[in-house]
Amino acid sequence: MDLVVTTMGSLFEETVGSSEAGGFISLVGLAVGEKIQTAYLASNGASQLDRKGMIEALLDMKRRIGSDFYVVEESEQRIVLGNKRCPFGELAKKCPSLCMLTANVCGHLAAESQGYARVDLPETIAAGASECRIVINLEPDPSGGGRRYHRRAWA
């Protein structure tokens, strides 16, 4: 499966460019995030994941796909996750837009749980770092970078 996703991402990047490929992969990430959230809510018998449940869901889901995620920092303002192993391996370096899957899954689950999230990926294995850093900011900051996510109005 990893080979299929990575090949698809690489072909998108080669055909339409990195930005457009990232946009498409972002949509895939949002859809995956919704499915993961639904599964974890059903298994917990809850209508919304609390903060602890959201973090556990992210770590569990990432472990299931072959990553090695762990909590670096947790505060009221943000959660910082590290990752020692990319599920796409060295192939991710050929398709760095696949990092949008991680950003969107993390952003979607955090926003649905906490109401808001802004996700930054300051370091990624795909960009040559030894580990990934995923910063999930939980308080709005208009001057901050990253991708912003909000809880769905109908949730």
Please report whether residue 136 resides in a domain. Answer: yes
* Nearest partner of 88 among 103, 73, 102, 74, judged by Cα: 102
Mean pLDDT confidence for 55-60 = 90
* Number of domains, the chain: 1
Please report whether residue 99 resides in a domain. Answer: yes
Please report whether residue 53 resides in a domain. Answer: yes
Domain that holds residue 98: 2-150
pLDDT band at 29 (very low <50, low <70, confident <90, very high): low
Mean pLDDT confidence for 1-23 = 63
Mean pLDDT confidence for 139-152 = 86
Report the alpha-carbon distance of residue 21 to residue 100 in Å, rounded: 10
pLDDT band at 76 (very low <50, low <70, confident <90, very high): very high
CA gyration radius, the chain = 15
Q: Which long-range contacts (CB under 8 A, 24 or more apart) does 81-87 make?
A: 81/106, 81/132, 81/133, 81/134, 81/136, 82/131, 82/132, 82/133, 82/134, 83/125, 83/131, 83/132, 83/133, 83/134, 84/131, 86/125, 86/126, 86/132, 87/2, 87/62
Report the alpha-carbon distance of residue 34 to residue 114 in Å, rounded: 15
Report the alpha-carbon distance of residue 17 to residue 132 in Å, rounded: 23
Report the alpha-carbon distance of residue 109 to residue 104 in Å, rounded: 8
Please report whether residue 31 resides in a domain. Answer: yes
Regarding pTM above 0.85, the answer is: no
Please report whether residue 129 resides in a domain. Answer: yes
Is 70 exceeded by the pLDDT of residue 140? yes
Please report whether residue 92 resides in a domain. Answer: yes
Please report whether residue 155 resides in a domain. Answer: no
Report the alpha-carbon distance of residue 45 to residue 85 in Å, rounded: 31
Phi, psi at 97, each rounded to 5°? -65, -15
Mean pLDDT confidence for 86-101 = 80
Mean pLDDT, all residues of the chain? 83
**CATH no. for residue 122?**
3.30.1380.20
